[in-house]
A = this chain, B = another copy of it.
């Protein structure tokens, strides 16, 4: 461990961080386009497990960048992820970020249907017009509900970022998304993920544009 404060100019901190991450990853080979996403997740968490657990569907980065450039909006399941996503950058392409978690109608629907608020948020999102990217960083129930909505033909996401975190139903919910054909996805296999990781993957994509 380095116990001395290094003299690094503010603008150089991120660059230096990515150099350290690159050094520590060594000679690992990445699927083209995925490298900066993996490195940004490690940068956000200091957790090198993200070099192993991220699963990318075929050509997902290219497809995701086209969706963003086409004005897709992002739906997320937490206010924290919404706070973390670079909304100014997304707005340059015409997209915005939605999180319906605090909405009264969502709370009411969740209560009536005996589902989580996160799942009820997905139902509300399915009624939006325009192209959508789903970034799920917290609730496996949101991901499982999203899978059902896709199967019912009610929504066709341009991208699913499936990175809920935790211990109950998290892994099975991610397995559902990994089974999808024709829907691009980025999924963190296993228990790990989080609203920080969801926001970070959105931003990694935005910063490629």
Contacts and interface: CB of A to CB of B under 8 A. Distances in A.
A47 B206 CA distance: 27
Contacts of A168: 6, 8, 13, 16-17, 20
B79 A172 contact: no
Interface in A182-198: 190-196
Contacts of A141: 10, 13
Contacts of A173: 5
B84 A165 contact: no
A165 B9 CA distance: 18
Contact of A84 (B1, B166, B195): B195
Interface residues of A, number: 51
A1 B44 contact: no
A80 interface: yes
Contacts of A81: 80
Contacts of A20: 167-168
Contact of A46 (B1, B117, B167, B172): B167
Given A44-B165, A46-B191, 12 more contacts: A6-B168, A10-B114, A13-B168, A17-B168, A20-B167, A20-B168, A43-B167, A47-B47, A78-B83, A78-B84, A80-B83, A80-B199
